[in-house]
Structure 1
Amino acid sequence: MSLSDLSLATTSDGGLDRPNQPLQVRLPSVPPAWAGALGIALLRDSERLAHRGRTRVGEWDVDPMAVLNAWAANLRHTPNRVGALIEGLRVRVHRPWSTYRLKPARPASGVVAGYSTDGRTVRSVQVADLTAKLLSTAHPMREFSRRLTQEHKPVAVWTHTTGSLVGAESHLERDFITLADFHPAVRYIGGQPFTLAFERGAPCKLHTPDLVLLGDGLPPLVVDVKNPEQAAKRKWQARAALIRDVLAEAGMGYEVWTGMPRLMQANLENFTEARVPGPSYCRWAPIAAELCSRPMPVVELVARIAARGYEPGFAMMLIRRMLWRRDLRTDMRLPFRPTSIVWTVNP
Structure 2
Amino acid sequence: MARSTLLDTELRYVADDRREVTTSVRDAVAAALSTAQPVRRVGSYAGQRHYSGLFWSATTGGHVPYESHLELDRLWLADFDPTVTWIAAQPMWLRGRDGTVIRRHAPDLLLTRADRSLEVVDVKPGDLARRPKVASVFDWTARVCETRGWRYQVWSGADPVRLANIRTLAIGRRPGHVDPDDLARLRAAGKVGVTLGAALGQGPRPAQIAAVMTLLWMGHWTVDLSVPLGLGAPITSIRESS
TM-score normalised to structure 2 length? 0.85
- Give the aligned CA root-mean-square deviation in angstroms: 2.7
Q: What secondary structure, in the 3-state scheme, does the structure 1 residue paired with 2:235 have?
A: strand
| CA deviation after TM superposition for structure 1 residue 256, in Å | 0.8
Q: What secondary structure, in the 3-state scheme, does the structure 2 residue paired with 1:128 have?
A: coil
Alignment of 1:160-309 (within 5 A): 160-199=58-97, 202-274=100-172, 277-278=175-176, 280=178, 282-303=180-201
- Higher Cα radius of gyration: 1
Tell me which residue corresponds to 2:225.
332
| CA deviation after TM superposition for structure 1 residue 304, in Å | 6.7
- Letter of the 1:203 partner, please give it: V
Distance in 2 (CA, whole Å) between partners of 1:132 and 1:297 is 43
Tell me which residue corresponds to 1:344.
237
The change in CA–CA distance for 1:269 and 1:201 in structure 2 (over 3 A counts) is: same
Alignment of 1:69-148 (within 5 A): 110-117=8-15, 122-148=20-46
Tell me which residue corresponds to 2:4.
none
* % identical equivalent positions: 27
2:208 to 308, 315, 325: 315
Distance in 2 (CA, whole Å) between partners of 1:255 and 1:275 is 26
Which runs of no fewer than 5 residues in structure 2 stay unpaired?
A: 1-6
The change in CA–CA distance for 1:189 and 1:335 in structure 2 (over 3 A counts) is: same
Q: More strand by proportion, 1 or 2?
A: 2
- Letter of the 1:209 partner, please give it: P
Is the 2:192–2:238 contact (alpha carbons within 8 Å) kept by the matching residues of 1?
no
Distance in 1 (CA, whole Å) between partners of 2:177 and 2:22 is 46
By relative contact order (CA 8 Å, sep 6+), the higher-ranking structure is 1
Alignment of 1:152-167 (within 5 A): 152-167=50-65
| CA deviation after TM superposition for structure 1 residue 235, in Å | 2.8
Is the 1:297–1:339 contact (alpha carbons within 8 Å) kept by the matching residues of 2?
yes
Q: How many residues align?
A: 235
Which runs of no fewer than 5 residues in structure 1 stay unpaired?
A: 1-108, 307-311
